[in-house]
Chain A
Amino acid sequence: MNGIWIMAGVTLREAVRRKILWTALIAGALLLAVFAVAMHLQVVEFQGRAMSPFVRYQVEAGMLMIGLYTCDLLAVVLTILTSIDTLAGEISSGTIQAIATKPIARWQILVGKYLGFVGMIVAYVAVTFGATIWVAHATTGVLPLHPVRGLVLIVFECVLALALTFLFGTWFSTLTNGVLVLGLQGVAFMGGWLEQVSGFSQSVHIVTLGIASSLVMPGESLWRRAAYEMQTPLAGSLSFSPFANVSIPSLVAVAYAGIYLAVALGIAIYHFQRRDL
């Protein structure tokens, strides 16, 4: 088991020393600044109007969801960009050979690297989400309904994408890996929207297509569940957007995502154990 922690540690250290994490943090900080300005302007605008505190709170909570959605997108992109190269690149460059000939099983290398990335993702999501919620609370007093549940689901969405970059990374080159995972993210995004549309159109075919897309890649349904957990109960009925839900993914959908992750990681380990390096 020691090997797993050594690999997790070196992966985490790599993330910290490479520019991409810091670039993503700077991007997050810039977006946060824009978000803070927008929240402030909204507060100023509301002060000039007679508005019921209830409606005002709903609008501000909606804006908070926009901020959190942006954080979610950034976290998923960061996850994919930092991890597509970790196995694929090291296999093609031969770097992995010096590690795979050490007294450490290949599955430990893979799991260690995976846990290292999970550590990085948890830290990134905690910082960006925490900061976004803090800004919203400081300017407007608004808070998400269940912030911890939301945070856990968003980390879950990221580590699901991570499992896919690991899975494809044991088979394909870095570039192919990136194209495949981003393509699947696209499918997930479309699936989420189709399921939303189905809330209005009542078309059985659209519902089926939406569900099928979410089964192929359930990442987006985790965001929509996270949004549902964080938004005010009324928000769902106020608008139709990715930040609020018409069709709420059930806990079965969340459980499916868990099984999906476990299977993807299991196949990745199986293939990495057996393949020639």
Chain B
Amino acid sequence: MTTTTPAIETRELRKVFGSQVAVRSLSLHVPRGQIFGFLGPNGAGKSTSIKMLLGLVRPTAGTAFVLGAPVGDVDIRRRIGFLPEDFRFYEWLTATELVRLHGRLCGMSAARLRTRVGEVLDMVGLAPHRHRTLRGFSKGMLQRIGLAQALVHEPDLIFLDEPTSGLDPMGRRMVRDLLRAERERGATVFLNSHLLSEIEVTCDHVAFIKDGEVVANRDLATAWQDEVRVVVHAHHVSDGAMAGLVQWASAPRLEGDQLQFSVATEDVLPDVVRHLVGAGADVFRVTPEHISLEEVFVTLVGEDRGL
């Protein structure tokens, strides 16, 4: 089990509840050290997939490995952290007691916990509430304490199911900074979220899931250099000019004075403009537009048809 082993590797993972197929055939490859986004519409099988990877739900078919061990392996969980959606726990425990309990369940020593509990409560912004019981906690505070229990044992792989759904903008920023710090430490983060903007600014890579299958993968770390859509306002664009565009651009389309195409990177735009002008076109305006994750999402999974 080396660090080159993928954090998560699944092959045709499937889950059927009665006659309902929750996850059709999930094949995933998550390398180490990434913040990996898992995106999909409601009912796409995201939560069931996470539960299978954590050993909470037994797969009907297929194989899955986390940190090199088959799912369901009890010992490997020492290196895994998990924040469930809508985290709830014994409300009679204080914040300190809750984090200490989870640390102990992860096999941490009492001596290590003495310093670590305060540290992790500080990280999630709950240090002033360390002696309060969960009974009086707001939804956002419960998310924060849930995050603390997921991170207390410094896991190598962290699963987060909708970690920011109950948080205000400051809380969301705190989670983003925390996840980046975890990545710096070398951890892999598997983030299940429906908040596209969160995924866009936080994740290195995103997998789109639809009907229990991965329909696309996208590398967000380099996304700003690729998939740039360009809108050009020009007159006299000849067929030859259009044909020549394919060396830089994909899917060129001309409608009246408006020419649209996609390029791999903005760096090629001067060459494109030179080509168009050289081929006799009068270029008035060139506007590069980055394709947002939301557009990719809608294109891939389709418009909301109602559930």
Contacts and interface: CB of A to CB of B under 8 A. Distances in A.
B77 A277 contact: no
A95 B88 contact: yes
B169 interface: no
A255 B197 CA distance: 64
Contact of B82 (A2, A101, A276): A101
Contacts of B106: 102-103
Nearest to B161: A97
A274 to B, nearest CB: 7
Contacts of B102: 98, 102
A98 B89 contact: yes
Contacts, number: 63
B58 A276 contact: yes
A104 interface: yes
Interface string A1-23: 01100100010001001100000
A266 interface: no
B56 A103 contact: no
Interface residues of B, number: 29
Interface in A77-108: 93-95, 97-105
A274 B101 contact: no
Contact of A17 (B51, B92, B105): B92
Interface residues of A, number: 22
A83 to B, nearest CB: 15
A103 B88 contact: no
Nearest to B103: A102
A97 B101 CA distance: 14
B107 interface: yes
Nearest to A104: B105
B42 to A, nearest CB: 17
B58 to A, nearest CB: 6
A97 B48 CA distance: 13
B104 interface: yes
A103 B101 contact: no
21 contacts: A3-B105, A10-B101, A97-B51, A97-B56, A98-B82, A98-B146, A98-B149, A100-B56, A101-B54, A101-B77, A101-B80, A102-B77, A102-B102, A103-B76, A103-B78, A103-B106, A276-B51, A276-B56, A276-B58, A277-B56, A277-B57
Interface of B: 51, 54-58, 74-78, 80, 82, 84-90, 92, 101-102, 104-107, 146, 149
Which 5 pairs across A and B sit closest by C-beta, in order of nearness? A102-B105, A103-B77, A103-B78, A276-B57, A17-B92
Interface of A: 2-3, 6, 10, 14, 17-18, 93-95, 97-105, 274, 276-277
Given A10-B90, A17-B92, A105-B74, 8 more contacts: A6-B101, A94-B86, A97-B56, A98-B146, A100-B55, A103-B77, A103-B78, A104-B105
